[in-house]
Amino acid sequence: MSVLDDDIEATVVSTEEIQSKITELAARIDADYADREPLLVGVLKGAVMFMSDLARELSRPSTMEFMACSSYGSNTTSSGVVRILKDLDRDVTGLDILIVEDIIDSGLTLSWLLKNLQARNPASVEVVALLRKPDAIKVQVPVKYVGFDIPNEFVVGYGLDYAERYRDLPYIGRLRPSVYGG
Ligand code: XMP
Ligand code: MG
């Protein structure tokens, strides 16, 4: 129990649901990468919790890299114009990249990221996203592994923030409108 819980109006995905979904996704990834070692590319900062839980649930080895991107536009909507704030630390030529995303909203960020990483000649690029908002999609992106489809509402927790807060909540929830002045 955290004082942050008071700011949450409803649980969207519980801690237990997140953990059992990660077990399920990890089993699929283990099977698909039986003869390859995936390079997990986490998109900062939202994917940090998901990536660390997912990596520990995989029964085969993986390695990690992180990228940070900013999309120009307002805080809660994405424009599709992306700038790299932190790039990968290594050359990924010939590697099997698995992009780890917290949430796919419009899909614009991911679509840009996929093109960017594909241009570096990896052996493969796939995506695992914990959450997806089907009603917000503006551009279709091939996402092999999806945890949960959720309603088109702003959510926080388990890595996702509002004004940099709530990332430390162990579940995904909907913020009370009073928190953001609604
Ligand atoms: P697009 O629209 O490009 O955006 O798919 C993906 C990025 O936008 C952020 N995002 C959210 N962050 N709660 C958040 O805390 C949300 O409900 C939400 N929807 C989108 C997130 O950074 C994601 O990577
Ligand atoms: Mg954010």
The predicted structure's pLDDT at residue 102: 97
Spatial contact of 69 and 83, defined as CB atoms under 8 Å apart: yes
The pLDDT assigned to 131 comes to: 98
Residue pair 182/166 in contact by the 8 Å Cβ criterion = no
End-to-end alpha-carbon separation of the chain, Å? 25
> Ligand 1 pocket: which of 50, 128, 160 to mutate (most atoms <8 Å of CB)?
160
CATH 3.40.50.2020 for domain 15-153: yes
Is-contact 130 101, C-beta < 8 A? yes
Per-residue model confidence (pLDDT) at position 55: 98
pLDDT tens-place string over residues 113-149? 999 999 999 999 999 999 999 999 999 999 999 999 9
Taking CA atoms only, the protein residue closest to ligand 1 atom 18 is 154
**pTM flag (> 0.90):** yes
Distance between Cα 159 and ligand 2 center (Å):
9
Q: Rounded CA gap, 40 and 163, in Å?
A: 26
- Backbone phi, then psi, for 129, in 5-degree steps? -125, 135
| Nearest ligand for residue 167 CA | 1
Which residues does the chain have with pLDDT short of 50?
A: none
pLDDT score recorded for residue 2: 79
Q: Are 165 and 11 in contact (CB under 8 A)?
A: no
Residue of minimum CA distance from atom 14 in ligand 1: 160
Angle, CA 19 vertex, CA 164 and CA 49 arms, to 5°:
30
Domain assignments of the chain as residue spans, ordered by start: 15-153
- What is the structure's pLDDT at 75? 56
Distance between CA atoms of residues 162 and 154, nearest Å = 9
Nearest CA among 55, 73, 75 for reference residue 65: 55
